[in-house]
Every structure is written in structure tokens, then in C-alpha cells.
Amino acid sequence: MDVAAPSLPSDLVDSSDQPESGLIRRAPVCADCDLQAMIVELRQQAGYWQGMHERARQREEKLKQDLEKSQAQVRKLERQLFGRKSEKGGGGQKKSESGGSKRPRGQQRGKPGPGRRDTSQFPAQEEVYKLDGCPTCGLPLDALGTEDSEVIEVEVKAHKRVIRRERGKRRCGCALPSILTAPGPAKLIPKGRYGISVWVTILLDKYAFLRPTQRLLEDLRTYGIDMAPGTVTGGLKWLFPLFEPLYLGIVDHVLQGTQWHADETSWPVFEPLEGKIGSNWKFWLFESDSAVAFVLDPTRQARVPEEFFDPVEQGVLVVDRFSSYKAMLQVKEGKILLAFCWSHVRRDFLGVAKDWPSEAEWGLSWVDAIGELFHLNELRLEATAQQFVARDEALRAAVGRMEERFEKELDEPNLHPVRRKPLKSLKKHWEGLTRFVDHPEIPMDNNQAERTLRISAVARKVFYGSYAHWSGILAAMLFSLFATLKRWGINPRTWLTAYLEHCAKHGGDVPEDAQSFLPWNLSDQERQAYAQPPAVSDSS
């Protein structure tokens, strides 16, 4: 009699229906051992999948951070390329502190107007318009005087001076040529066809009003003057030496100060230079309270400010955080102290607010804190002797709170990377940034240098730099000269005309007393005279 085999669990029997296979798994000896093995295997699988999940989560988190960083970079580039240049963080919807709307532009209601400009120095051409009588019946009228008004006109016209020099045959027995000719007028460029007024116009138009030469020549053609570009280039090269002593005098005067502003910007020079790759040169700006000096150099190395300030033994230099200033030998030796610009720090936090929407509130809170420092320092500068102590204490307290804040935030373990960079820079430059606290005469920002440097920045955009090295040096000298004259309130046209006439009297060469024309060497009476527009000649 056959006995049926005991049935096995389905997971221990081969699923094949082929009888010839005869594959039957042998049951484990111990059920508990099998269960233990399954638990171990499941735990291993759970650990594996947990690890895979954590890796996927970290990978996703990194991708999110990379995406956020890339989007911030795109926003930054779009802002630099297409955005407004204003650094205001609140936009058009921001309300004023008083709770009202933003103050409108232009003349404010209730404020005194500027009044009419003085025109008494202009020559007057009188025009009289008469009445013939009553327009209806024609009877004569009783005279009541006139009703007067003024209209300002500008008349620019080209004219030529015909120079006639008398000649005569000598009758005496003196040791002279038999035919004598009267000496002619002094000329700025010997045998030159164009007078001083033309070269004054060219110099001012290019280096003070920043208009390309070709555009000036087109303008002159509308007055009938057809001047070749090569004539302008040759004339400027001839005039180049006349401004060298003036430039050297300006540099010396800048170095006589004890507090300066400095900045730099690019300036293309297209003349090849051995060892120099590309045309990107630099304009360095160094200015005191009464003089401005531009320096052209192929590099942004610390050598440039080092050489410029070589004679200086003590002073304060207000700059941005560019590394070349920190690397100056005079800074390392303690001869020159650096005062860093708070406007650049403000731009760091404003950039975070604009480029990282998730960090906008944090960034704008720092912008507001920096704005409070500017406000408190302005109040301190305006304070009377009785108010100074209280306002000074308020400023120092705000500076102390700011230091505590960035130290506390830097100690946070999970600080966002985009926050860490501006905070570390703030801590690194803190000593130079707070130098104004103990020395109120030091400004909080370097905006003065940036405004002055805008001369070269605009010129670079409109006529693309210089095509020769001498032309770049001439630009540096004339930018320095016109910016310095502006600082002293001197009319550049009046001053330049007088100086070039003086050079013409010396045969078109550099006069020995050239530096006597610099503003600080002029008498008060001379400065007042040069501040006025040029006198109108009778011939005009």
C-alpha cells in the first residue's frame, strides 16, 4: 500500500510542472534558523535601500542648490546687462519714512525756486518794435514807454583772419637784409593754419565734453570748416608737450595732501606693447580735495599706486577692497592707512537680495543697517559742539551692534553659503571700514572717486580709448587738468585760451612759468577772472 508524501510549503517546491525535473528544495533543518536568515537579509536590504534613498536625497538637494545658484547667476548677469544702474533696493513701491508716497522729482512745492540766471555779462543787441497807431482807426497813441524782455541767443560762426605783414626795402647802411618784413602775430603751431580758438574747441570737445573727434568734425562742417582728421591728430601731437609741466604740477599737488581717493577702470590702448597681450590698459585715479591725477598703465598691479605715492610718509587712502591697494608697500609699512568704502559693502548685500529671492529679506535688512550708519554719521557731521557727543555715541552704538550681529551670524552652523561670503568680507575689512568712527573727516564711501572716474568711463564708451600710447597719456593729462579746474570753479574755455595764448607768445613752446597757471598758484583776482566766460571781442 502506497503512502502519500507529506505536502511541502509552496515556497519549498519547484514551480516547474515538468515531472522529469524532480526539483524539490530540501526543507531547512531548523525553521527558526530560516526565519533568522530572512530577517538578516531583510535588514540588509532595508539598509541598502535606505542608503540609496539618502544618496538620492543628497543628490537632489545638491541639484536644487546648483539650480538655485545658477538661477541667481542668471539674474545677476541679466541685472548687469539689462537692469537699472540704481542700487535702491525697495523699488517704486517703497514708502518714505513718514508713511507717504515717494517724493516726486523736480522742484518741490513750498521750496524757493532757483531764480533767473544772471545774463548781465552778455553784450546786448537792442531791437525796437514800434506801434503805428490804433489798429482800427489809425489815430496816433500817447507814448507810455516800452515793455522790455530778454531773449538769449547763441551765435557761432567761423571766420578767417587775413594777416597782412608790411614789407619794405631798406635804404640805410645797417647790416640787415635789404628787404624787411613786419613780424606777424604769435602762433600756437608755427605755420599752422588754425588759430587758438579752433584748438581750444577741439581740446574741450574731446577731453572735457567727451565727444568723438569725427562727430566734432561733422559739426564744424556745418559752419563751413572742412578739417581733415589727420590735421587734428597732428595738432594734438604737437600740443602734447605743452601740458606736461601742468600735469606734473597737478601730481605734486595731489601728493601734498594727507587724504586721498583712488580708483581704477579700463582704458583700451591699441598700440602694441612688447610683453603686453591685448589692448586693455588701465586708468588709475588719485585725487585729493583740490587736485585730480589720472595715471595710464598697462596693468592693475600694486606697483602703480606704490610708485605714485612713493614720496608720501603719512596719509589715509579711501579705496574699494581691490587687492592691489592692500599689497602696497606703504600700506604694509603703516605709512598709508586704508579706509574702505561702505557703498561697496552695501552692494554685496543688495546683490544677494536681488539675485537670491529666498535671501532678499536678510540682504535688505543689512542694507537698512548700513543705511542707518550713513544717516547717523551724517547727523554727527552736521552736529554742533553741544550735539556732537550724543550723536557720536549713537553712531558708535550702531557700529557695535553691527559687529555683534555679523559675529553671531558667522557662528551659525547652518549658515547659507550666499550669506557667508559678504559676512566674511565684512569681518575681514572691519578695521578699514570703521576708520571713519574715530576720524570723522574720513568719508564712509569712495563715491567721490567713482564720480570723477566717470570722465574716462564715458569717454571709453564714446570713442573707444586711444590708438597710440602718446594719445592715452594726453588723455590722462587733460582729464586731470579739466577735473582739477572744475574742482576750483574755473571756466575751462577762458583758462585754456589764456594758457595757449601764453604758449603762442613763447613760439608755441612750453613756457618756463607754465605752472603759474595752475589754480593754487593764481591770485584771487586771477581765479575770479578765469571763472568768467570768455570776453566777446568787438569783431564778433
Least confident of 36-50, 60-74, 268-282: 60-74
Residue 19 has pLDDT above 80, yes or no: no
Where does residue 84 rank: exposed (0-12), middle (13-18), buried (19+ CB within 10 A)?
A: exposed
**Which residue(s) pair with 181 in the sheet?**
167
Percent of the chain with pLDDT over 90: 59
Of 253 and 120, the one with more pLDDT: 253
Residues 6+ apart with CB under 8 A from 150: 119
* Percentage of residues of the chain with pLDDT beyond 70: 90
Residue 438 sits at φ, ψ, to 5 deg, of -85, -15
The grid coordinates listed for 273 are 606693447
Q: Tell me the average pLDDT across 52-61.
A: 87
pTM: 0.80
453, 210 Cβ separation under 8 angstroms? no
* Rounded Cα gap, residues 454 and 300, in angstroms: 18
Cα–Cα separations (whole angstroms), residue 217 to 159, 214, 397, 468 = 16, 5, 59, 20
Q: Is residue 468 within 8 Å of residue 271, measured between CB atoms?
A: yes
pLDDT band at 9 (very low <50, low <70, confident <90, very high): very low
**Span 63-105, pLDDT tens digits:** 877 787 787 777 777 777 776 666 554 444 444 443 445 677 7
Confidence (pLDDT) at 117: 78
| Distance in angstroms (rounded) separating the CA atoms of residues 540 and 364 | 60
pLDDT of residue 448: 95
Q: Please give the mean pLDDT across all residues of the chain.
A: 87
Q: Is the pLDDT of residue 11 over 50?
A: no
**pLDDT tens column, 210-254:** 999 999 999 999 988 899 999 999 999 999 999 999 999 999 999
Q: Has residue 161 got a pLDDT over 70?
A: yes
Q: Which residue has the higher pLDDT, 324 or 127?
A: 324
User: Which one, of 533, 529, 496, lies nearest residue 122 by Cα?
Assistant: 533
State the average pLDDT over residues 288-312: 96
Considering only 69-83, 490-504, 523-537, which range has the smallest mean pLDDT? 69-83
Confidence of residue 133 (pLDDT cuts 50, 70, 90): confident
